[in-house]
Structure 1
Amino acid sequence: MTDQELLAVEEEQPWLRLDKRMLLVHPVNEGIKILPVLLLSFFVGSQSGNHYWSLGILAVVVVFAILRWFTTSYRIGPVHVQLRTGVLQKKVLSIPRNRIRSVDVEANVLHRMLGLSILRIGTGQQAGKGEAFELNALDTSLVPALRVDLLQRVSGQIPAADGIPTAAPNPEVEIAHWQFSWVRFAPFSITGIVTIAAAVGVLFQYGLGQTLAESSVVSNSIDSAEQFGIAVFVVVALIALLVVSSIFACVRYLLTYANLTVTDQGRTLHVSHGLLRTRQSTLDRKRLRGTSLSQPLLLRAVSGARLDAIMTGVSAEKKESSLLLPQAPQAEALRMMSTVLGDAGLHGGADRPLLQHGPAARRRRYTRAALPLLVIAAGLGVAQYLGAPIPILAWTAIGVLFVAAVGLAHDRYRGLGHAVLPGWLITQHGSLDRTRHSLEAAGIIGWTVRQTFFQRRAGVATIVAATPAGVGHYEVIDIPVENAWAMIDAVTPRAGDIWLRRT
């Protein structure tokens, strides 16, 4: 069928409403959003003797939530998917089918109790407030087939009259399954500390910080510090923080990633995870451009890693949209990486040793790590020579930091390298936050060779591969400048030959 015929068919399709069970969910969700306002109104009503303040606000919220259901409808056509919303201001959001890049499905506890799911459509662009295509919510039994249909480009096939396709999904093959033992990797991240910091921020935001500061817990802690000494108190406080943050990290890991499964459905990868709030993401293999293996220092110390997909049109800033494996055993992450990349065309060598970048790159690692400390040590030495009292603790700290900096430089050079395989570029760098990117050459749309002043003096350069996938660019850091354009030409033939002739 022609585009005009498909559009004509689309205009004749009926607009569908969300599931009626959302009339029970919307009021609860809206009430939770304004819970601080409800509590404040209840307090004001108690002081004035009028308890109808909170009831009036709650009634307005419930009516508004019900009206949202009556004013929300959607249509799944052969050319566009459309969403009509708005109680006071009407809005129609229309997305061409060929612009759909991802389809995510979520369900919190209340949704799961009612058999509902939230379906979100992503186009690879940052959506502003009120511009995201979200169907909150649909019958869970209808979502799998709808998700498969939405990820297909326009093929001329007219959907069923009710907007829900009836085609049976492809057979699924499970290629990864979450294990409870993986929880042991959760403490080796900063999620626990971030959770504690967020909780403290909420306390201060609602004025509870002053109450906490004046509580007996804080006063008893100050007394303990005076009794046992500051050093002992700091050590105990750090141990307590470590224990509490580890507990928070484990709880968050369980709630977010428990029951994770990755299934191969032929043309798509389906990732599902979550204990209370479930999330399902579908990754189209046609838009798969590689993988990113993350190995931060602490996680690497316990042989752990995390794996994400590099997808065209899916922002890597939202890790859950491209997640393949959370913190897991390194061997499992490498196996999963080899499986995904093997199916994408990289047969063998996904975890091969990388080509190191030579003595100049090694020297830059050590210079950048040790030079600031040597400058500080020289300053302290001059100050001491001029008669300023420099405590022995300062020199001890400089010595410890110097040893740590040398070790960090050694580890950074060990983790620096690249490899060029037929149709693929593999690059790795970092120590505290080491990442190994495997990028398909067909997904690279441009190259940049960049040199800072100090890189020119050292004879090295940084190569930047531009791509519409993942974070948008991937770097090969501190490669010898005489090898830069040859490497580019090996990945993308004829992309660097003009510069090779000039050199």
Structure 2
Amino acid sequence: MNETPWQRLDQRMLLVHPITETVKYIPVLIASVIGSAQSENPLWAMLALAVIVGIAVTRWFTTTYRIGPDNVELRTGLIQRKKLAVPRSRIRSVDIQADVLHRVLGLAVLEIGTGQQAGRGDEFKLDSLDARLVPGLRAELLAHTAGARAVDPKSQEIPSDASAFTFDQTGPEQVEEKRESVEIAHWRPVWVRYAPLSLTGFALIAPIVGLAFQYGFGQVVFDSSAVHELGDRGMWFVTSVVLGLLLTLVVVVSLAACARYLATYFGLRVLDNGKTLHLRHGLFTTRQITLDLARLRGATVNEPLLLRLAGGAELEAIMTGTDPRQKILPQAPRAAVDRTLTHLLGESAPSTVTLTPHGTAARNRRYTRAFGPVHTAAAAMLVFSLVAQPLPRWSWILLALAYVIAAALAWDRYRGLGHTVIPAADGNPTWLITRSGSLDRDRDCLEAPGIIGWTVSQTWFQRRVGVATLTAATAAGKKRYHLIDIPLDQAWPLIEAVTPGQLGSR
């Protein structure tokens, strides 16, 4: 039997790669232009541009791929040849992207995911393919996935503005059976208001402020003659300037977060055909991700503090062989997240389930940890004021404010701490649901059959109060899911309830 022939990428990549490579090496071109100006020889700049374009063009001649019955293979490189081979049974996801230039030329980038971290240059990426061939190629690459998951008819009762339609996954060599796809979530323009509420953007403000003061901003403000001329009003002037700059920085960071959110998640649609989960989003660069539902082991509802206060959340899938934090929904209303979660996990793991608190010892540990640094600061301030000189009144006001913040943080951390076990029923598996955190709170819903082991650990302080940290190990998602400060006498019954028989004999 003849082997599958090697194929080349689409010839239109000869227009794409020279442009993308030229943009990538703009610093090199700038340096060559400067060198040409100094040597009064413009050929140096032209030579650098010719080398970059030439290398980009050679990729079409040196890149070939083929899809065999057992393996998918890719050959690249001009001087150093490289061959990648991926067993088709190891393919976990297919990621399709297309930026503006690709879309104008009718091309797409297809990347195969195997669940392992690939270094730069080791990704199995086909750039660029005819966009019309991509749906059929995606269906062919995922043809080995398990049989269709039964779709609960009740789960198809989606909002009136959602639509159900059919994927056309016909390829050049085969016709894939068309499956009805149910839209379980879609992006709305009003969701952009949640974009600035992620703590990631605001975490950038502190380093920027620190760098500003490190490079003399504080000295310029506090030692300026204008401040000294104001006398007692100088402190109020400085405070107003700092607050104004912080407010401006917050506005800039918020606008940047909104722009990034729109560019990344514009037009997001999440579709379930009972066998795979299909995500499509992007404004300038469109991205399509196809995930095998047979590898779904649960989901995580992420609720950063600001997003939680605004009634929003994020949804991530817990899957084997994909990104540990595979996002299904970005910052969105909690109702939309709960609706999508219920569809993915079924009614057996509802989002409104009541969690079991971890008791008095866990609560006391939250307050002890929160007040510890504040007590240390208070003791240091008291010693300094007694030995050296009295501290200004505003420093004690800040200390009192720190106590209030610490108490609120401890209360919220304990309020967010809990777990529950939902027993198997009506053909649904047992579910372990755990929640922890305050500034960044995660609610993990983990399918019991996906748990492969347990760890019960105790620090010296935990042993004194009779609590432990219980860790469920799994091959999916973050790999380790923690139940923090659970009473030790509840740990063993919980393990037996979730995974009967794994305790063995003790």
TM-score, with length taken from structure 1? 0.87
Tell whether 2:243 aligns with 1:239. no
Aligned mates of 2:491, 2:418 — CA distance in 1:
13
Query: Residue 334 of structure 1: SS of its match in structure 2?
Result: helix
Query: Residue 385 of structure 1: SS of its match in structure 2?
Result: helix
After superposition, residues 101-180 of structure 1 pair within 5 angstroms as: 101-153=92-144, 165-180=174-189
- Cα 1:38–1:69 change in 2 (3 A) is same
1:498 CA drift (Å): 2.7
Amino acid at match of 1:235: L
Amino acid at match of 1:402: Y
Please name the residue that 1:329 is paired with. Answer: 333
Please name the residue that 1:23 is paired with. Answer: 14
Tell whether 2:197 aligns with 1:188. yes
Aligned mates of 1:246, 1:331 — CA distance in 2:
23
Amino acid at match of 2:8: R
- Cα 1:118–1:493 change in 2 (3 A) is same
- Cα 1:224–1:307 change in 2 (3 A) is farther
1:315 CA drift (Å): 2.6
TM-score, with length taken from structure 2? 0.87
Query: Residue 445 of structure 1: SS of its match in structure 2?
Result: strand
Aligned mates of 2:293, 2:226 — CA distance in 1:
59
Please name the residue that 2:451 is paired with. Answer: 444
- Cα 1:193–1:443 change in 2 (3 A) is same
2:312 to 298, 304, 320: 304
Please name the residue that 2:353 is paired with. Answer: 352
Q: What are the superposed Cα offsets for residues 282-306 of structure 1, whole Å, 9 maximum, x if unpaired?
A: 1111000000100000111101100
1:381 CA drift (Å): 2.0
Tell whether 2:376 aligns with 1:375. yes
Please name the residue that 2:482 is paired with. Answer: 475
Mean CA deviation greater in 434-443 or 139-148? 139-148
Query: Residue 132 of structure 2: SS of its match in structure 1?
Result: helix
1:233 CA drift (Å): 0.8
Q: What are the superposed Cα offsets for residues 200-258 of structure 1, whole Å, 9 maximum, x if unpaired?
A: 9xxx9xxxx9xxx99xxx99x97987777321110000010011111111111100111
Tell whether 2:67 aligns with 1:63. no
Aligned mates of 1:251, 1:466 — CA distance in 2:
37
1:192 CA drift (Å): 4.1
Amino acid at match of 2:125: E
Please name the residue that 1:6 is paired with. Answer: none
State the identity %.
Answer: 51
Please name the residue that 1:490 is paired with. Answer: 497
> How big is the alpha-carbon RMSD for the aligned residues of Structure 1 and Structure 2?
2.6
Please name the residue that 2:165 is paired with. Answer: none
Query: Residue 262 of structure 2: SS of its match in structure 1?
Result: helix
Tell whether 2:421 aligns with 1:416. no
1:371 CA drift (Å): 2.2
Please name the residue that 1:98 is paired with. Answer: 89
Aligned mates of 1:239, 1:417 — CA distance in 2:
36
Aligned 8 A contact 1:225 1:233 in 2: no
Aligned mates of 1:195, 1:280 — CA distance in 2:
29
1:338 CA drift (Å): 1.1
Mean CA deviation greater in 146-155 or 433-442? 146-155
Query: Residue 96 of structure 2: SS of its match in structure 1?
Result: strand
Tell whether 2:276 aligns with 1:268. yes
5+ residue gaps in structure 2?
A: 147-170, 424-429
Amino acid at match of 1:361: A
5+ residue gaps in structure 1?
A: 1-8, 156-161
- Cα 1:116–1:291 change in 2 (3 A) is same
* Ranges of 4+ aligned residues in structure 1 off by more than 6 Å: 194-200, 221-228
- Cα 1:196–1:235 change in 2 (3 A) is closer
Aligned 8 A contact 2:299 2:445 in 1: yes
Aligned mates of 1:132, 1:348 — CA distance in 2:
36
Aligned mates of 1:56, 1:442 — CA distance in 2:
61
1:195 CA drift (Å): 7.8
Please name the residue that 2:167 is paired with. Answer: none
- Cα 1:196–1:381 change in 2 (3 A) is closer
Amino acid at match of 2:316: D
- Cα 1:407–1:195 change in 2 (3 A) is closer
Aligned residue-pair number? 464
Aligned mates of 1:93, 1:477 — CA distance in 2:
42
1:432 to 418, 439, 448: 439
- Cα 1:195–1:108 change in 2 (3 A) is farther
